[in-house]
Amino acid sequence: MTQRTALVTGGTGGIGSAIVRHLAKQGHKVATNYRDEAKAGAWREAMAREGIEVCTVRGDVSDPESCAAMVRAIEEKCGPVDILVNNAGITRDTTFHKMSYQQWTDVINTNLNSCFNVTRAVIEGMRARKWGRIVQISSINGQKGQYGQANYAAAKAGMHGFTISLAQENAKFGITVNTVSPGYVATDMVMAVPAEVRAKIEAQIPLGRLGKPEEIAHAVAFLTGEETSWMTGANLAINGGQYMGW
């Protein structure tokens, strides 16, 4: 296996931690960003107890200058970023007629503009080295829409347009660009939903349960592997069968 440097944004979160763990166990050098020093320190120690060393750098994905500085710092510490997983994301749910401009822009900046901010900082290096793997973590709700999530669904759907354009522009440079669209995954965020609401969600899932973060990480590892070099512009929907469209 070729050891590469992987940047997973939002690596301290539920799905992000599983992706970091999986890529690190494959032998890659893995980096992620943090915003809160104390929270990141505790997370880094928990990972170290599992034998996983992670390079952590301060960075806000919604801010282009912060992302440029974050990528520079990671590349100085760990070498050029060959694998990028645009995973950081937030929700600010409310029905559209009550949605503030702030709720709209917070979600668009963190979930979609972040893809520009971070990818822009790594893409020229990947093109020069003629190798790269880029994966966006989108969502089932970017495919089918969701009541109360016009901002989130717009951002997540936008990630698909971003993916397929970037895939076309960079194919001849050995760079693949794909999207993973998880359904409901048992992270803290989803487990905090009242049990009766969760039961209703589970009832809509043909496979009868929430996803596990490791199942999303497994898909990311597949898409970022050396062998997965003829797959670009694709969307892997991993949702227990809840949505079977594109």
Catalytic position from the list 34, 101, 152, 243: 152
Q: Answer yes or no whether residue 33 interacts with ligand NDP by CB under 6 A.
A: yes
Q: Looking at beta carbons only, is 55 or 88 nearer to ligand NDP?
A: 88
First-last CA distance in the chain? 32
- Residues in contact with ligand NDP, counted by CB under 6 A, come to a total of 28
Measured from the CB atom, the residue of 34 and 131 that comes closer to ligand NDP is: 34
| 42-45 own/partner pairs: CB under 8 Å, 24+ apart | 43/12, 43/17
Scan for tokens 């660009």, then name that residue: 177
Active-site residue 34, yes or no?
no
| Amino acid (one-letter) located at 164 | I
For residue 216, the surrounding DSSP H or E stretch is helix 213-223
Question: Which of 71-79, 115-123, 188-196, 224-232 is the region at the interface with ligand NDP (rule: CB under 6 A)?
Answer: 188-196
3-state secondary structure of 8: strand
Rule CB under 6 A: say whether 178 interacts with ligand NDP: no
Query: Which one-letter DSSP state was computed for residue 135?
Result: E
Which tokens in the block code for residue 13?
């979160």
Q: Are 118 and 177 in contact (CB under 8 A)?
A: no
Minimum distance of ligand NDP from residue 145's CB (angstroms): 14
Q: Which of 20, 61, 177, 220 binds ligand NDP (CB under 6 A)?
A: 61
Which residues form the interface with ligand NDP (CB under 6 A)?
A: 9-10, 12-16, 33, 35-36, 39, 60-62, 87-90, 110, 137, 139, 182, 184-185, 187-190
Residues identified as active-site: 152
